[in-house]
Amino acid sequence: MSVTLTEENYLKAIYHISQMTKTDVSTNAIAEKIDAKASSVTDMLKKLSDKGFITYIKYKGVNLTEKGRLTAVDIIRKHRLWEVFLVDKLNFSWDEVHDVAEQLEHIKSPKLIKELDAFLDFPTHDPHGDPIPDKDGQIKRTDKIILSKAEVGGTYKCVGVQDSSTDFLKYLDKHQIQIGTELTVKDIEDFDHSMTFTIHQHNMTMSKAITNNIYVKKLQ
């Protein structure tokens, strides 16, 4: 009862969507994420249900079973470990890693991941600030908030991004924002909720479209 590459991608997509929405995952949402037609998704959902990875009720949507969740989280663990490898050891920038990690995450070898984890010195977060699940599928909860919810006068540390599209990461690189960057909120515009910060001794303003995609942790 092995898991095919395609099944793995579906499980990962379902996991990510359910993390977002906290409700039953719809066929259309999966179709959009996977970039396939809804009819193809329906076929696959039957298969995943037969194999015990999801609970599937027609027209109602799906949920991961514990078995499905563990499988999805294991793939995410591999993906994020490979991302650390690419950035720390092979000089990839954080906007270049995603496509390659997407391939590497499907390599099957428990020893490979165990040794890679040790070689990277047991990292807890990937280059985008997302936590790396441990080998038992536990994910460390972070007390991060979305930057758009920050308060005037507060100082925050950048811990991750919501959108990891190349375009967005390039924007951050251009403005020298990365994991660990500290920023202080100077002003919030009532009209469009654009925010002005002090970053690296400079002032800069970001639109809500930007601040909605950056996670920060408040510095006490």
Nearer to DNA, 43 or 66 (CB): 43
183 binds, among DNA, its own copies, none (CB under 5 to 8 A by kind): none
Q: Which segment (24-32, 81-89, 90-98, 178-186) binds DNA by CB under 7 A?
A: 24-32
Q: Which residues ranging from 9 to 38 are in contact with its own copies (CB under 8 A)?
A: none
Nearest-angstrom CA–CA distance, 141 and 6:
28
Structure tokens at 52: 């015990």
Of 27, 148, 181, 211, the one binding DNA (CB under 7 A) is 27
Does 61 bind DNA (CB under 7 A)? Our answer is yes
Of 37, 46, 89, 170, the one binding its own copies (CB under 8 A) is 89
The b/e string for 63-76 (b: 16+ C-beta within 10 A; e otherwise) is: bbbeebbebbbbbb
Q: Which residues ranging from 147 to 186 are in contact with DNA (CB under 7 A)?
A: none
Distance set, CA 16 to CA 25, 89, 127, 190, 215 (Å): 10, 27, 18, 32, 17
Distance set, CA 120 to CA 111, 113, 114 (Å): 14, 10, 10
Q: Which segment (46-54, 87-95, 184-192, 193-201) binds its own copies by CB under 8 A?
A: 87-95
Nearer to its own copies, 11 or 104 (CB): 104
Does 152 bind its own copies (CB under 8 A)? Our answer is no
Summary count for the chain: helices (H), strands (E):
8, 8
Nearer to its own copies, 81 or 159 (CB): 81
Nearer to its own copies, 14 or 104 (CB): 104
Q: Which segment (35-43, 65-73, 99-107, 175-183) binds DNA by CB under 7 A?
A: 35-43
Helix or strand holding residue 119 (H, E): helix 110-119
Of 108, 135, 140, 218, the one binding its own copies (CB under 8 A) is 108
Q: Do 153 and 161 contact (CB within 8 A), yes or no?
A: no
User: Could you tell me which of 2, 22, 138 has the C-alpha nearest to residue 69?
Assistant: 138
Q: Which segment (40-48, 111-119, 122-130, 166-174) binds its own copies by CB under 8 A?
A: 111-119
Nearest-angstrom CA–CA distance, 3 and 48:
10
Q: Footprint of its own copies on this chain (CB under 8 A)?
A: 86, 89-92, 96, 99-100, 103-104, 107-109, 111-112, 115-116, 119
